[in-house]
Amino acid sequence: MTTTPDVTELESTLLAEVTAADSLEALEAVRVSVLGRKGRITEQMKGLGGLEGEARKAAGQSLNRVKDNVTAAISAHQLDLEAAALEARLAGETTDVTLPVRPRPHGRIHPVSQAMEECIAIFGEMGFAVAEGPDIEDDFHNFTALNIPPEHPARQMHDTFYLPERDDGSRLVLRTHTSPVQIRTMENSKPPIRVIAPGRTYRSDSDATHTPMFHQIEALVVDETTHMGHLKGCIIDFCRAFFGIPDLPVRFRPSHFPFTEPSMEVDIGCSRAGGELRIGNFGDGADNWLEIMGSGMVHPKVLEYGGIDPAKYQGFAFGMGIDRIAMLKYGIADLRTFFDADLRWLSHYGFAPLAVPSMVRGL
Ligand code: PHE
């Protein structure tokens, strides 16, 4: 090569090719064809070897300028193409936030669990701790220690489920009430005692208000000066808090349980007007009472069986059916539906998990 290359024309040709590249791939092809090992500028550079002195210097300078300009143009165009590609991708991948979410199934809290939680929260506020005992009990804890000796008619009244006879002739039972937890608590702790025992209980019984398995909550307080005023105040406060009715009438009616003396059944005010049962204060109508629990001062013999000196300590106890108070509070007519495991029923009568008012005041 002996002449100075016409770089002006070369430059405009190359710049036009750069501008015309409409994709990053096309631009890369242009770059290789210009600056690659066999590219057009590279080839021209090699041709400089045939020039002499000043001419070679001048040609080299102008070629280098063209190279710089084309390189700059490629970089600038590359940025534009990259921005355009990103725009296109973002436009293609937009999320339509107006699309409704697909409903997801939520679990519901069973009314029995809900009622149990509410009871625990109320008694927790009063300073009670939760105690537990086994569902399968021995005769001593379910009966004898509760002052129900073998020939006592209460044993028949309880419709007990017995397990098969053991080698020593004794039979374990499915506990017929939560009262055996009273004995177990006394055996395992010293007064002052202030516990509640929620749990499953079993009796061979089945109709609209009885199921073979049901739930009770038991309370036991033992201290040196515990008296019936404490029992009454505690039960009245509980009933009013649980049903959310500040002036709910509560009545104590003399009764009999082998493990308490004196014993009282507890009734709450209600109305049966129009054949509909409603809990509350409806004035002084004669028969508008509903029995909801058994209660009494712990029998001295029971304290003794529990290893507590009845000359020094006294206490009160009460027990009630959780399923029953749940039916009353939530307006559920048939107890058996609690245990049908029907999801439609549960989604209607169940509670949203966040609605469990555990440990909050003012239920
Ligand atoms: N255990 C009794 C029942 O199941 C209830 C009760 C408990 C009564 C504590 C008095 C004291 O019916």
Would you place residue 8 in the very low, low, confident or very high pLDDT band (cuts 50, 70, 90)?
confident
Model-level pTM greater than 0.85? no
* Predicted pLDDT at 287: 65
How many A from CA of 352 to the centre of ligand 1?
Answer: 32
Cβ of 260 below 6 Å from ligand 1: yes
Q: Is the CB of 198 under 6 A from ligand 1?
A: no
Going from the Cα of 165 to the center of ligand 1, the distance in angstroms, rounded, reads: 27
Distance 259 CA to ligand 1 centre (A): 8
Q: Which of 257, 266, 292, 320 has most ligand 1 atoms within 8 Å of CB, for mutation?
A: 257
With a 6 A CB cut-off, is 123 part of the ligand 1 pocket? no
Out of 170-184, 251-265, 269-283, pick the least confident. Answer: 269-283
**Is the CB of 176 inside a 6 Å radius of any atom of ligand 1?**
no
Segment 35-42 shows an average pLDDT of: 88
The contacts of residue 290 (CB under 8 Å, 6+ apart) are 267, 268, 269, 270, 277, 279, 328
Which residues are within 8 A (CB) of 102 and not within 5 positions of it... i.e. 6 or more apart?
none
> How many angstroms is it from 46 CA to the middle of ligand 1?
109
| Residue 54 pLDDT level (bands cut at 50, 70, 90) | confident
Residue 219 backbone phi and psi in degrees, to 5: -125, 145
Q: pLDDT band at 354, cuts 50/70/90?
A: low
Q: Which of 160, 179, 234, 256 to mutate to test the pocket of ligand 1 (most atoms within 8 A of CB)?
A: 179
The pLDDT mean for the chain works out to: 90
DSSP 162: B
* pLDDT tens figures, 200-229: 999 998 887 889 999 999 999 999 999 999
What is the pLDDT confidence band of residue 241, given thresholds at 50, 70 and 90?
very high
CA 97 / ligand 1 centre spacing (Å): 58
Say whether the peptide bond before residue 180 is cis (omega within 30 degrees of 0): no
pLDDT tens digits for range 97-148? 888 888 877 789 999 999 999 999 999 999 999 999 999 999 999 999 999 9
Q: How far apart are CA 340 and CA 23, in angstroms?
A: 67
State whether the beta carbon of 306 lies less than 6 angstroms from ligand 1: no
Residue 157 has pLDDT above 70, yes or no: no
Share of the chain above pLDDT 90, in %: 62
- Taking only the tens place, the pLDDT of each residue in 291-336 is 999 999 999 999 999 999 999 999 999 999 999 999 999 989 888 8
What's the pLDDT at 302?
Answer: 98
Give the confidence band of 19 by pLDDT, cuts at 50, 70, 90. Answer: very high
Return the HEC string of 207-226: ECCECCEEEEEEEEEEECCC
State mean pLDDT over 55-60: 86
Q: What is the pLDDT of residue 286?
A: 54
- Among the residue ranges 23-32, 331-340, 351-360, the one predicted with the least confidence is 351-360
Most confident of 90-99, 107-116, 154-163: 107-116
